[in-house]
Amino acid sequence: MPVAKNLRSIGRRVVSAVWRVGLATRFFLLTLAYSGTSFRRFHLTIKELFSTGVMSLIIIIVAGLFVGMVLGLQGYETLKRYGSESALGVMVALGLVRELGPVVAALLFASRAGSAMTAEIGLMKATEQITAMEMMAVNPIARIVAPRFWAGVISMPLLAAMFSAVGVFGGYFVGVIQIGVDEGSFWSQMQAAVDFREDILNGVIKSFVFGTVVTVIALFEGYDAPPTAEGVSGATTRTVVTSSLAILMLDFILTAIMFRGN
Amino acid sequence: MERTTLDLWVGIFVVGGIAALVMLAMKVGNLGTYNVSEAYQVHAYFSNIGGLKPKASIKSAGVLVGRVTDISLDMERYEARVTMSLDKRYQFPKDTAAKILTSGLLGEQYIGFDVGGDEAMLKNGDELKMTQSAVVLEDLIGKFIYSKAEGSTN
């Protein structure tokens, strides 16, 4: 019976997906519980901050610059029709601070840093380094996972803020310097429309949530990867796919909660 | 603790991120321009507020003097009660009139103050007695058509 077989395989997939969600939650709680080491021996976290945060700087800054420039160009083309080019600054800043900054920075972070984390931990597992640590009574979650988790959580809001800041200057470069929108109205309308708590802090909260989710997914996929070459490559792919989808879905939910009815 | 170049890079990263946040707050956002610490509250009743929203600006002679903090419907008068928070630096006479105005043709709505001549000044919790409601475009068109129709019969 092909129908029954298909149904059974769908059911098995759903059950295993729910199972993995449960495992990931337990893994997340364990990471939180064993986080003490990553603050007591802070150089472990510093090292991870370097490889996740500092190494992502270039891609974040270049991407932010170009996204801001495109926003400036496209925004100008549309706003020109309504004779309100002076609102270009508002459009660029709100678009970046509320949405594009946190979301695009998180997507880049997932593919730049998240995939590296998964591959690193997956390979550690495949070469039995994690088992060796357990043999030496070193808790691998406290020693390997927790510092990476906190590095991701700390660096994500900083990267998103840099993305938005650089993007605003990209929009300024195209809008004011190249096209010739009035500089005064560009900044003053922006300052009048962008609220610190409502827009900027909500953007920071968003990127904090994204940072947590991406890092947990990346670490869990690495820790849970089958200890083979295919297993690690599959886990890396799953990290990028799952965390990208999670970012976009969470973004909708967070936006609906934060900006509804304003 | 020994210093490594790695620490320097992480330091640059963290300082850069915080600098970006401060820049967003001061240059892009309004944290540097508007301060609500010293304020007093007054309220006014309007029969129609049109599209006025909380946080809309309150202007006198075009200068920003405060913000709308709360809008609610008064169930005894069936009028909109608008609470405003005004900057302590600006004092207004008791007979100041509040009008709901529109910036530009289709722009945002704000409250404009017409300053009166009373000796006594507004205090915290006072009510602005003289108000002028928002101009609703449909009402305006309705009046216009009505007056046209009247004009043609005469």
Band (pLDDT 50/70/90 cuts) for residue B57 is confident
Band (pLDDT 50/70/90 cuts) for residue A174 is very high
> Is the same domain home to B78 and B92?
yes
> Is the same domain home to B90 and B124?
yes
How far apart, in whole angstroms, are the C-alpha atoms of residue B52 and residue B46? 11
Interfacial B residues in 2-21 facing A (CB < 8 Å): 6-7, 9-10, 12-14, 16-18, 20-21
- Nearest by CB to residue A164, choosing from B16, B24, B53, is B24
| pLDDT greater than 80 at residue B36 | no
Cβ pair A169, B28 in contact under 8 A: no
How far apart, in whole angstroms, are the C-alpha atoms of residue A31 and residue B141? 65
With CB atoms and an 8 Å threshold, state whether A196 touches B10.
no
Interfacial A residues in 62-91 facing B (CB < 8 Å): none
**Could you tell me if residue A33 is inside a domain?**
no
Q: Residue A49: CB partners within 8 Å, gap ≥ 6?
A: A151, A154, A155, B10, B13, B14
- Cα B27 from chain centroid (whole Å): 21
Mean pLDDT within A72-79: 91
pLDDT tens per residue across span A19-67: 988 999 999 999 999 988 888 888 888 989 999 999 999 999 999 999 9
**Could you tell me if residue A34 is inside a domain?**
no
> Is the same domain home to B93 and B136?
yes
pLDDT tens per residue across span B45-56: 998 888 787 778
* pLDDT at residue A194, rounded to an integer: 85
Domain containing B48 equals 39-141
Q: Would you mind telling me the total number of residues written for chain A in this entry? A: 262
> Is the same domain home to B58 and B133?
yes
**Could you tell me if residue B154 is inside a domain?**
no
| pLDDT greater than 90 at residue A147 | yes
Contacts of B12 in chain A (CB under 8 A): 54
Cβ pair B69, B83 in contact under 8 A: yes
**Could you tell me if residue B151 is inside a domain?**
no
**Could you tell me if residue A176 is inside a domain?**
yes
**Could you tell me if residue A215 is inside a domain?**
yes
Q: Which residue has the tokens 């009046």?
A: B143
Helices (H), chain A: 2-33, 36-40, 42-52, 57-81, 88-94, 101-109, 115-126, 129-135, 140, 146-172, 183-193, 202-224, 229-259
**Could you tell me if residue A25 is inside a domain?**
no
Nearest C-alpha of chain B: how many angstroms from A192?
6
- Cα B131 from chain centroid (whole Å): 15
**Could you tell me if residue B106 is inside a domain?**
yes
**Could you tell me if residue A119 is inside a domain?**
yes
> Is the same domain home to B90 and B68?
yes
Q: Residue B137: CB partners within 8 Å, gap ≥ 6?
A: none
- Burial class from Cβ neighbours inside 10 Å (0-12, 13-18, 19+) for residue B68 reads buried
> Is the same domain home to B27 and B96?
no
Rg from Cα positions in chain B = 23
> Is the same domain home to B18 and B46?
no
| pLDDT greater than 90 at residue B107 | no
Nearest C-alpha of chain B: how many angstroms from A43?
9
CB atoms within 10 A of CB B16: 19
**Could you tell me if residue A117 is inside a domain?**
yes
Q: How many domains does chain B have?
A: 2
> Is the same domain home to B49 and B107?
yes
Smallest CA–CA distance from B13 into chain A, residue: A54
**Could you tell me if residue B50 is inside a domain?**
yes
Q: Please give the backbone phi and psi of residue A96, each rounded to the nearest 5 degrees, phi first.
A: -75, -50
> Is the same domain home to B101 and B131?
yes
Contacts of B107 in chain A (CB under 8 A): none
| pLDDT greater than 80 at residue B6 | yes
Band (pLDDT 50/70/90 cuts) for residue B104 is low
Q: How many domains does chain A have?
A: 1
Highest mean pLDDT out of A32-46, A235-249, B32-46, B55-69: A235-249
> Is the same domain home to B131 and B87?
yes
* pLDDT at residue B35, rounded to an integer: 52
DSSP character at residue B83: E
> Is the same domain home to B28 and B64?
no
**Could you tell me if residue B118 is inside a domain?**
yes
Domain containing A56 equals 39-256
- Higher pLDDT, residue A167 or B2: A167
**Could you tell me if residue A31 is inside a domain?**
no
* pLDDT at residue B27, rounded to an integer: 77
User: Which tokens belong to A178?
Assistant: 């190249």
* pLDDT at residue B105, rounded to an integer: 63
Mean pLDDT within A105-120: 94
Q: Residue B53: CB partners within 8 Å, gap ≥ 6?
A: A262, B68, B71, B109
* pLDDT at residue A261, rounded to an integer: 53
**Could you tell me if residue B62 is inside a domain?**
yes
* pLDDT at residue A167, rounded to an integer: 95
By the CB < 8 Å criterion, does A170 face chain B?
Answer: no
